[in-house]
Amino acid sequence: MTSESVQSLIDQLEAEAAMDRPVEATPEIGIIMGSDSDLDVMAGSESGRPGAFDVLTEELGFEEQTDYETAPEARFTFETFVVSAHRTPELMYTYAETAEDRGLDVIIAGAGGKSADLPNMTASIAYPLPVIGVPVQEKSLPSVIGMPQGAPIVAVDAGKSFNAALSAVQILARQHPELQERLLAYHEGLQQGVGEVSRDLHERGTPGFRDT
């Protein structure tokens, strides 16, 4: 039996899939996770490692879309849902099945525990839409990457939703030169940072660099 709250989400997704919306008004990236306890990994933690939300909004100019009928001003957007493969399989199935019709181009799916089935099940249902799996913990890695031949999924290392978001934008950049320019600018910033640190270390020497 499906709960009222889950059924309302299923109805919402199905209604969105039936809408005739221009691609500019729908999110390009879908971010899903098995539990809200995964949010610090999938979005990024204020006191820990940055995540997908951080790189998309702070580095690449995306906005989070929370209302399907009223798109943000940004040209490129993403959405975020909690979708449990084990507790809400109907919601998982509907999310994956409607993803393309709702305008998504790529899904980032994260799950923890030893039975981290959300990414690979989503990849199977949403095929051929690309899915990037994020093992939330080290013990989740074998489950996420353990797809049989003919059932592909792309996956990043445990906890690295930041890299998953970069990979998702790389996929989108093949059709959107503006995103390619943003990726190149981000990478140039990384190079600049390394160069500045290298020069500072060399000119100050190791003791002086450590003291700063």
Let me know: does 77 contact 64? Beta carbons within 8 Å: yes
Confidence (pLDDT) at 45: 83
Give residue 129's pLDDT band: very low, low, confident or very high (50, 70, 90): very high
Q: Let me know if 72 is exposed, middle or buried by CB neighbors in 10 A (0-12, 13-18, 19+).
A: middle
Q: Which tens digits make up the pLDDT trace of 48-95?
A: 889 999 999 999 999 999 998 888 999 999 999 999 999 999 999 999
According to the annotation, is 38 in a ligand binding site? yes
Stated pTM of the model: 0.95
Give residue 41's pLDDT band: very low, low, confident or very high (50, 70, 90): very high
Distances (CA, A) of 74 to 13, 24, 66, 125: 22, 9, 13, 29
Backbone torsions φ then ψ of 21, nearest 5 degrees: -115, 140
* Mean pLDDT of the region 2-20: 95
| 6: number of Cβ within 10 Å | 18
* Mean pLDDT of the region 16-44: 95
Residue 120's Cα: distance from chain center in Å? Answer: 14
Please report the beta strands in 34-192, taking only residues with DSSP state E, as ranges in sequence order: 63-64, 77-82, 106-111, 131-135, 154-155
Residue 47 has pLDDT above 80, yes or no: no
Confidence (pLDDT) at 33: 98
DSSP 55: I
DSSP 150: T
Q: Please report, for the chain, the start and end positions of each structural domain, with discontinuous segments joined by +.
A: 4-175, 177-212
Confidence (pLDDT) at 10: 97
According to the annotation, is 84 in a ligand binding site? no
Confidence (pLDDT) at 163: 98
| 15: number of Cβ within 10 Å | 13
What's the mean pLDDT when you consider all of the chain? 95
* Mean pLDDT of the region 183-208: 96
* Mean pLDDT of the region 95-116: 96
Enter the CATH code of domain 4-175: 3.40.50.1970
According to the annotation, is 5 in a ligand binding site? no
Cis peptide before 142 (omega within 30 of 0): no
